[in-house]
Structure 1
Amino acid sequence: MIKDLDFDFRASARRTLTLERDAVEALVPRLDAGFDRACQLVLACQGRVVVTGMGKSGHIARKLAATLASTGTPAFFLHPGEASHGDLGMLTERDVVIALSHSGETREVTELLPLFKRKGVVVIALSGRRASTLGRHADAFLDGGVEKEACPLNLAPTSSTTAALALGDALAIALLEARGFGIEDFALSHPGGSLGRQLLLTVADVMHEGEEIPCVSPGDSVRDTLFEITEKGLGFTCVVDAERHLLGIYTDGDLRRTLDRRIDLDSVPIEEVMTSTPISVTPSMLAAEALRIMEKRNITALAVLDPERRLVGALKVQDLLNRGVV
């Protein structure tokens, strides 16, 4: 039951956000050699990074494992409660464990420490207390301590989980940059959904080829050119020489300008009214890059050329949008 219908919800939210912001900002001056050590241990790992934590820390641990895995560091989440019931068999001596516990005394986590040590597994602690059981027995310590939780009772993990989340992200991104993990690597880890479409699709995957490409010769009349545009249905045509080298392009916009000049559509060759310096792309270019070019140049069509500048394809902005490239 709500005790006060006039409760200031926004004031409460501002207080929470301010406290959590302050908790993250306080992490910066506490970054020390322990952070460097943690990064070095992960980079030297010949197995996988195993992230573990209980309760709310467990949720953050799952997210950290997912972030690491998607940014070039093989990782998975190990539930500490299940570890002692068989799941510990997933660990090898080549692995590195990142254990999350703000108190550093979470029983399900600390009970695993002797087992980690017996296996010879390196342990990185992400905790709020360096002098805790977890902090003392870790090979590297990440200080995620907070002055107070955003919870007014100072009980519910709020500021501490936000700090742990941010510190975990900092670790993952530092590792990403140290590995030189690039956009192509990221694409291979995210092949599904719109992200994969943006990163993996090339112009060659989307462009119109062969008989679908609208093209005319430089001596063809404007009227003949309009027939070609209408027949191919792409709203433009390319003008090519006998070897299919691109000479120009003619679009709906060019047609409007032609009509404004009251030019005879039957007698004027297309080379006199075409755009003679068209923007073009290559088949190997990423589709997302082609879309950025269209947006920057405020155009809707591109010719696709091979290294010898021969016409091999035609691309419309709608082709990219239909394939989910945004």
Structure 2
Amino acid sequence: MAMITDATLGFETEAEGVAFARNVLRIEAEALERVRERLGPSIARAAELVYRCPGSVIVTGMGKAGHVGTKLAATLASTGTRAFPLHPGEAIHGDLGRIRADDVVIALSQSGETEELLRILPAVRKLGASLVAITERASSSLGQASDCCVAIGRVEEACPLGLAPSASSTALMAVGDALALLVSRMRDFSPEDFAAYHPGGSLGRQLSRVEEVMRTGRQIRRARPEETARDVFVRLAGPRRRSGALLVEDEEGHLLGIFTDSDLARIFEKRREAVLDRPIAEIMTVDPKRVRVGAMLSEAVELMQSHRISELPVVDRANHLVGLIDVTDLIGLVPADFEE
């Protein structure tokens, strides 16, 4: 297996390589600070155009700017704006048919003179769509053709040759983020809205409601306060999705207490097995932590983590038991150091 050495890195020492990488980050950070200082009213006007767009937002760019544009379209879409990327090369071969008069086209180009981008501008204007440019100079060809130009100024590249788009791509992406998040704020985009657009993965689950993941029906082990723990375990034996808790409720279904597997383990550790034949009300945890239907799943996770509990009952406004959140259902959402 080939070994990475200082010689193969092209530096005399590893420390020199680290210093070079840090310098790249310094150049890009300083470039962002200069762009931040230059940002003016045009970003607000661009956001207003996007916010009031009755159609779709089409984001286009060539090369690295095109990749940034794809990310901008994705960010807009995930924060409430109907947005799609469009490759300028494909646009001139038929994909211009995606653009309508009520759309807004956002064009990204550091120089403002990108040939492939300029070729589609006459068609964009003819179609009647509004044009927002994010580019270096308002006086560039792209800037002059736009309805609104967000000029970010000249950006020094981090590339030692001054050729590979690096700091300029970072600047375009950051300004795109600023635009998308400004529009999102204008929409009063809420965590509930965000959840609607992110149903999958760990993030989507944290933004879900507890009722979307809680256990219900036969998946909950329920008991009456007068029953013994031993009788409850026997009664609830058989195939079912097992949870680590018995939930104690009265005849009307109000939550009274909880008895967990950890409670059972402590009873055996202290050799107090005889209490298993006493009413479960005598050994349960009275008035346990609970969460109400409609709460965000992230709220349940925080409650379980802060109190080091593995099971969390879900109740309605009248304290009727309706479900159970089990820590095993939250893999990937609970911190790694979680333990009961």
Provide TM-score, normalisation by structure 2: 0.85
SS at 1:112 equivalent? helix
2:41 counterpart residue number: 33
**In the alignment, does 2:158 pair up with 1:150?**
yes
Distance 1:56 1:198 in 2: 33
Query: How many Å apart are 1:4 and its aligned residue?
Result: 4.3
Asked if the contact 1:68–1:75 (Cα under 8 Å) also holds between the matched residues in 2, the reply is yes
SS at 1:278 equivalent? coil
1:96 counterpart residue number: 104
Q: Structure 1 pair 163/211, CA: closer, same or farther in 2 (3 Å)? A: closer
Q: Structure 1 pair 211/65, CA: closer, same or farther in 2 (3 Å)? A: closer
The 5 Å alignment of 1:144-293 reads 144-200=152-208, 202-225=209-232, 227=234, 233-255=242-264, 258=267, 260=270, 262=272, 264-265=274-275, 268-293=278-303
Distance 1:100 1:138 in 2: 11
SS at 2:59 equivalent? strand
Asked if the contact 1:144–1:160 (Cα under 8 Å) also holds between the matched residues in 2, the reply is no
Alignment-mate amino acid for residue 6 of structure 1:
E
Alignment-mate amino acid for residue 237 of structure 1:
L
State percent identity of aligned pairs. Answer: 46
**In the alignment, does 2:22 pair up with 1:14?**
yes
Which residue, 315, 318, 321 being the options, matches 1:308?
A: 318
SS at 2:156 equivalent? coil
2:70 counterpart residue number: 62
SS at 1:234 equivalent? coil
Which residue, 41, 52, 69 being the options, matches 1:44?
A: 52
Q: Structure 1 pair 164/217, CA: closer, same or farther in 2 (3 Å)? A: same
Asked if the contact 1:215–1:228 (Cα under 8 Å) also holds between the matched residues in 2, the reply is no
Distance 2:256 2:316 in 1: 14
Deviates further, 223-232 or 58-67: 223-232
Alignment-mate amino acid for residue 224 of structure 2:
S
Deviates further, 276-285 or 224-233: 224-233
Query: CA deviation digits over 1:33-81, x for unaligned, max 9?
Result: 1111101111111111111111221111111112111211111122222
2:132 counterpart residue number: 124
2:4 counterpart residue number: none
Query: How many Å apart are 1:181 and its aligned residue?
Result: 1.4
2:305 counterpart residue number: 295
Distance 2:189 2:279 in 1: 52
1:111 counterpart residue number: 119
Asked if the contact 2:219–2:243 (Cα under 8 Å) also holds between the matched residues in 1, the reply is no
Q: Structure 1 pair 37/204, CA: closer, same or farther in 2 (3 Å)? A: closer
Query: How many Å apart are 1:315 and its aligned residue?
Result: 2.9
Asked if the contact 2:249–2:256 (Cα under 8 Å) also holds between the matched residues in 1, the reply is yes
Alignment-mate amino acid for residue 251 of structure 1:
T
Query: CA deviation digits over 1:249-304, x for unaligned, max 9?
Result: 12234345556495842664332332112012234434443222211221001222
Deviates further, 69-78 or 257-266: 257-266
SS at 2:275 equivalent? coil
Query: How many Å apart are 1:15 and its aligned residue?
Result: 1.2
Asked if the contact 2:38–2:153 (Cα under 8 Å) also holds between the matched residues in 1, the reply is no
Q: Structure 1 pair 258/45, CA: closer, same or farther in 2 (3 Å)? A: same
SS at 1:250 equivalent? strand
For structure 2, the residue ranges without an aligned partner over 5 or more in a row are 1-6, 335-340
Q: Structure 1 pair 310/29, CA: closer, same or farther in 2 (3 Å)? A: same
Distance 1:30 1:5 in 2: 36
Query: How many Å apart are 1:18 and its aligned residue?
Result: 0.5
Q: Structure 1 pair 241/146, CA: closer, same or farther in 2 (3 Å)? A: same
Q: CA RMSD in A?
A: 2.6
Distance 1:215 1:139 in 2: 65
Distance 1:186 1:302 in 2: 25
Q: Structure 1 pair 236/193, CA: closer, same or farther in 2 (3 Å)? A: closer
Asked if the contact 1:228–1:237 (Cα under 8 Å) also holds between the matched residues in 2, the reply is no
Distance 1:100 1:30 in 2: 17
Q: Structure 1 pair 4/241, CA: closer, same or farther in 2 (3 Å)? A: closer
Q: Structure 1 pair 292/123, CA: closer, same or farther in 2 (3 Å)? A: same
Provide TM-score, normalisation by structure 1: 0.88
SS at 1:247 equivalent? strand
Asked if the contact 1:145–1:160 (Cα under 8 Å) also holds between the matched residues in 2, the reply is no
Q: Structure 1 pair 160/220, CA: closer, same or farther in 2 (3 Å)? A: same
Distance 1:305 1:89 in 2: 52
SS at 2:285 equivalent? coil
Distance 1:69 1:197 in 2: 19
Q: Structure 1 pair 174/319, CA: closer, same or farther in 2 (3 Å)? A: same
